[in-house]
Amino acid sequence: MNTWEEVYSLARQKCGICRCCPSCNGRACRGETPGPGGKGTGSAFVRNVDMLEKVMIVMDTITGNEEVDTSSDFFGTPVSLPVYAAPISGIRQNYGADMSEMDYTEAVVSGCEAMKTIAFTGDGKIDSMFREPMEVLGRHGGHGVPTIKPWAMGHMDWRVDLVNESSCPAMASDIDASGLSNLRNSDVPVGFKDVSELKALCERSSKPVILKGIMSVKGARKAMQAGAYVHKVTHAVMQHMSSDAQGVLAVADMRAFLDSAVIDGDSDERTMVAAFWQVRDPGNAGTVIRSADAAGCAGVVLVDDCVDIFNPKVIRSTAGSLFHLPVVSMGTDEYFDWCAERGLAVYAADVYGTDARPPEPLTDVLAVPQSLAQAKTVLFGNEARGLTQDVLERVDRIVSIPIYGKAESLNLGTSAAVMLLSLAMSSHVERM
């Protein structure tokens, strides 16, 4: 086996374009096409390398003497370590290497096979750049993953069919190559693929399709629409990825979730919306959302400066209710305007009321069910300060929960549960 110095020296002799840097970080060749540095500024490649360098191995010396098992399964093919060789094509054209496409592929595929891992093979604007690697994979029993450039769909078909006939466990498409200038200007250009085209690609392939070049949450969402594979992991891996996950983990666009939350504008006399003003405690926020869900509220409004609803404690405290009803955020003035536009009477849950208007006991309110026959929103105040006088002066009714013992008050979670469920039951109970 050659030393690193010997390998490096030989590489420098055989590669005319590639600088054979000790660290392939894209900085020396950034923006060069063809070349490994990426298109444009090459910043995406550089950032990816920088992020990988932050992955560290933490040594634990207090352990048994058992060997660490790094084996994994790649679509039915056992591998010793889930680290794979990336697809590279155009060995002469892009790197100036003194070897053929066939020789390079043979070296990578046989090397990966010997080390019990998987090689991804490349593709290029010359058909032989795909056919020759496929021949190599055929000689090795399909031990690898052919990677197809995002050509015009008709030009991809024969490549997909060739993979279908092989023993390869999967196929890939490096869709991020759609922006490479040397390929966009070729006789059969590459191009961007929409969801329907990717779906057609997945349907044509009899193998699992791996999409290389998903660089954003938006891109991942589109890939899922096209039929992307969902990778299952062990409990240990899930815990390392997120200690808060309960069996399912996804990358979510939080902003999109909030933007899509809309409380139905149609209402009748039973419609009720729960609103919470300046709720700061995540446990309380989650609990009151759960209570609103149990009471059949049409939605929840977080008014003014409230806690982030995506706080892990908020999500856990809702017990799933966060995804059962819309939760929206707005300012105080916006909230009252929103209620007026929809004809919602504003009930305030408050112990003291104002100087001019003391609170109505909840029992008295429930005793006159006719007065409750209207669409309404129930507004609860901050855990420590309740509602301000300014806010109370703008509501239609002020309601308090009677306390028969020596407790001075109820916490927000309990108050919301009692008030919302009592009002909900009053509108659902059949009366003689």
Judged by average pLDDT, the poorest of 39-53, 129-143, 296-310, 329-343 is 39-53
pTM of the model: 0.52
Judged by average pLDDT, the poorest of 37-51, 198-212, 265-279, 314-328 is 37-51
Mean pLDDT across the chain: 82
Q: How many residues does the chain have?
A: 432
Give residue 147's pLDDT.
95
pLDDT tens readout for residues 369-408: 777 778 888 888 887 778 888 888 888 888 888 888 888 7
Token pair 């595929």 is at which residue? 109
Considering 31-40, 74-83, 115-124, 191-200, the range whose residues carry the highest mean pLDDT is 115-124
- Kindly list the distances between the CA atom of residue 427 and the CA atoms of 8, 152, 295, 414, 423, in Å, as whole numbers in the listed order: 79, 61, 11, 20, 7
Q: How confident is the model at residue 110 (pLDDT cuts 50, 70, 90)?
A: very high
Higher per-residue confidence, 22 vs 142: 142
- Kindly list the distances between the CA atom of residue 114 and the CA atoms of 79, 111, 140, 169, in Å, as whole numbers in the listed order: 11, 5, 11, 17
Residue ranges and CATH numbers for the domains of the chain are 24-56 (no CATH), 69-241 (3.20.20.70), 254-428 (3.40.1280.10)
Give residue 58's pLDDT.
80
Q: How confident is the model at residue 188 (pLDDT cuts 50, 70, 90)?
A: confident
Distance CA 419, CA 401 (A): 7
